Every structure is written in structure tokens, then in C-alpha cells.
Amino acid sequence: MASRFQNLRPGLLLLALAISVFIWAVAQGTSSVQQSFDVEVELVGLDETLVVTEQSADSINLRVRGSRAALRNLAVDQLKYRVDARGGKPGVAVYEVDVESIPHPTGTSFVGYSPTRLQLRFEKRGRKNVPVRAETEGSPAPGYHLVGVVVEPDKIWLEGARSQVMKTKEVETEKIDIAGLTADAQLDARLVISGSTIWPADATPIRVLVRIEPDPKPAPAAPAARPGRRGGA
């Protein structure tokens, strides 16, 4: 066997090797394989007077078949499954999933997907102006005390699902750490809003002014009364 290859020219060996690599590459590029990935669900056309309060799935899992070369042209991170929510009304709506609406390269095909339908609940949008309350934690430095907390703005507009917005009486800030303070401090604070179906109507920053003062000094002790002089005879 060794003597047989010794009679071949080096150029022919290199040519044979190149042909083998080319055939392997073609086979890899044309062989059919499957790939699975998730595609984000995106709602379009939803009326501004409505809010989505429930959604059965946030993404669609797709299984795609195609050649390796074709699948390399599939920009998975740019794909979205769009649901046309035009005409939606308060209540539950069910949408059948049609994956063929998702663009995919020639030479690929969808062989499976899950879920096959999406269920959404719509609710009327509400709006309400509510007070903002600042929460503090910790204590000022020894010899100082907290005088008060001022929030600016002291009220904000909330929007979202009407049932949630209407029952919200106030919103709180994240806890403001006043530990060790010896003077007034102005800090930015984030709001803590329970529930994912309500949110601030605008991005106005919340600023909290913490007022710190020294403890009052104790009043000096009153001088002792001198004994009175007695009159003479």
C-alpha cells in the first residue's frame, strides 16, 4: 500500500485531498437537519383603549427543517410572531397560530410548533392621579434626627388595567437609606408598583428630599437659689 502512494505525485495527492474536502462540504451543506428555537410574540394593532392583562404564551417554539446552508441564513434573533389584535374587545380572545406568516429562507420548512393557539385577555385602560409616599430605612448619625421627607412630585398619574388602577390609593418609593446622615440629602428614587398591568403615565423622575437636623441641646440647669438674709433686731 505504501509503495502505491509513493508512485503518486504530491500534486495529485493534494488535488485528491481538495476534492474530498469539497465533497464533504457539499454534503454538509445539502444534508437536511432540524433546528428548534423560540420566537417572541408581538401584538400589533391593539386599540389604545385596551390593555393586555393575561397572555397564555410570550413566545412560539418552532422546529425548522432545512439544509445547513439554508439554516445559517435564518436570523433567529430578528424573527417575531406577530398577532393582529385589531378589533379586540374587553374579555378573552383566542388566536390560532399560523407559523407560515413568519419569514424564513428558501429551502427551509416548519415541521412543528408549540403552542398552536394563543389566549389573551383584554381590559379597558384606566388613568388615575395618586399620591407618592417615600419609604426610609436606617437612622441618622448619633446626635441627629429625621425631621421629614418631601417627595417631588408628590402625585403621579398611573395608567393600565382599569380594575387595578382604580383600586390603587397610593404608590411608594423604594426604601431610602438615611443611615449615618448628618445633613439634608436629595436623592432620586424608583417607584415600587405592585402588579404588571399598571405603570406611570410618564417618565418624570421622583426626587426625595430628606431633612436632617441635630438633636436639640438640653437646656442648661437653673442656678440654685441663694438663701435669703435675715433682718437684724
pLDDT, tens digit, 9 for 90 and up, residues 203-226 = 889 999 999 999 998 877 777 666
Whether pLDDT at 175 is above 80? yes
Band (77; pLDDT cuts 50, 70, 90): confident
Quote the percentage of the chain above a pLDDT of 90.
Answer: 61
Common-topology check for domains 32-123 and 125-214 = yes
pLDDT, tens digit, 9 for 90 and up, residues 15-26 = 656 565 554 555
> What local confidence, expressed as pLDDT, does residue 204 receive?
87
Place of cell 457539499: 26
Quote the percentage of the chain above a pLDDT of 70.
Answer: 82
> What local confidence, expressed as pLDDT, does residue 31 receive?
65
Place of cell 399598571: 198
Mean pLDDT of the 76-103 span: 92
C-alpha to C-alpha distance for 42 and 40, rounded to whole angstroms: 6
Q: Pick the more confident residue, 133 or 25.
A: 133
Whether pLDDT at 233 is above 50? no
> What local confidence, expressed as pLDDT, does residue 218 receive?
80
pLDDT, tens digit, 9 for 90 and up, residues 3-46 = 555 555 566 556 656 565 554 555 454 567 888 899 999 999 99
> What local confidence, expressed as pLDDT, does residue 115 receive?
96
* Residue 72 CB partners (closer than 8 Å, separation 6+): none
Phi, psi of 181 (to 5 degrees): -70, 145
Domain 125-214, what fold?
RNA Polymerase Alpha Subunit; Chain A, domain 2 (2.170.120)
Question: For the ranges 33-37, 55-59, 95-99, 228-232, which has the lowest average pLDDT?
Answer: 228-232
Mean confidence (pLDDT) of the chain: 85
Burial class, 161, CB count within 10 angstroms (exposed 0-12 / middle 13-18 / buried 19+): buried
CA dihedral 71, 76, 78, 84 (to 10 degrees): 100
Sequence spans of domains, the chain: 32-123, 125-214
Whether pLDDT at 134 is above 90? yes
Domain 32-123, what fold?
RNA Polymerase Alpha Subunit; Chain A, domain 2 (2.170.120)
Q: Is 151 helix (H, G, I), strand (E, B) or coil?
A: strand
> What local confidence, expressed as pLDDT, does residue 40 receive?
95
C-alpha to C-alpha distance for 34 and 65, rounded to whole angstroms: 4
Vertex 120: Cα angle to 119 and 125 (nearest 5): 170
